[in-house]
Amino acid sequence: MNQKEIVEYVNDLLVIENIKDFGPNGLQVEGDNREVKQICFAVSMTEEVIQKSIEKKADLIITHHGLFWDKDPRVVKGPMKRKLKLLLESGIASAAYHLPLDFHSGLGNNYQLAKKLKLKNLENFAETPKYAEGILGELDAISIEKLSQKVEELLDRKPVVLPFGPEKINKIAIITGGAQSYFIKAIEAGADCYITGEISEWVYTLSQEYGVHYISAGHYATEKFGLQALAKHMSSQLSIQHDFINIENPI
């Protein structure tokens, strides 16, 4: 399959037309449409990711956070110029899948994090007519100390924890990345604890006053698993080699 065919395959797999996003999903930079033998996956399209992909002789780069966002300046200079130059000279195509990869019911970041935490009885919350933005699941009664330790071991990163909820946690809500604004929806869904990637000042008071735990586990750290699941799926279905380029980010 060539670059165009692979991108169209992922577009269909993640049903990108169903989700309104903050930037374009799917193809972002056209390559030379060569046959795809090697794909590099990464959370964000950085200059380092592109350079490493060139070294690995990639034909396509797929990221969660792409090059272009709706509110970006319409001027190509500095880092953007350097990244585009590297891509265009190499012939590597680049594609990005943001919210479609967060919300996908099997491969998405939310689902994959819930699966790795071994949550049971998964259900959706923060639903729209075409997709759900969050996942709610259950664990056998667990303390916030043990749950936060479980999150830290899984993500290899110490989370920020607001331990204001019940002594024993059963229901856990998850939206990966920068989803602190969904905390109230998690509370309304009946969660004892909300896990996301980031935290804001006002979250402290909300957690305290509603009596619901909050775990900020890292934007980058919570958004690796969807890409890794997508890479595994494509490798098994399309027999394509892949690499996950892990450029650690403490945020």
Render pLDDT for 171-208 as a digit per residue (tens, 0 to 9). 999 999 999 999 999 999 999 999 999 999 999 999 99
Identical fold between 3-101 and 104-222: yes
Q: Are 172 and 119 in contact (CB under 8 A)?
A: yes
Q: Are 178 and 217 in contact (CB under 8 A)?
A: no
Taking the alpha carbons at both ends of the chain, their separation in whole angstroms is: 36
- The HSE-up count of residue 55 (CA atoms within 13 Å, CB side) is 8
pTM for this prediction: 0.96
Q: Residue 152: its pLDDT value, please?
A: 98
- pLDDT band of 3, cuts 50, 70, 90: very high
Q: What is the CA radius of gyration of the chain?
A: 19
Domain ranges of the chain: 3-101, 104-222
Architecture in CATH for domain 104-222: 3-Layer(aba) Sandwich (3.40)
Q: Which residue has tokens 């190499």?
A: 90
Domain 3-101 top-level CATH class? alpha beta
Q: Which residue has tokens 């204001």?
A: 164
pLDDT digits (tens, 9 = 90+) for 209-222: 999 999 999 999 99
CB-based contacts of 151, cutoff 8 Å, min separation 6:
117, 159, 195, 215, 217
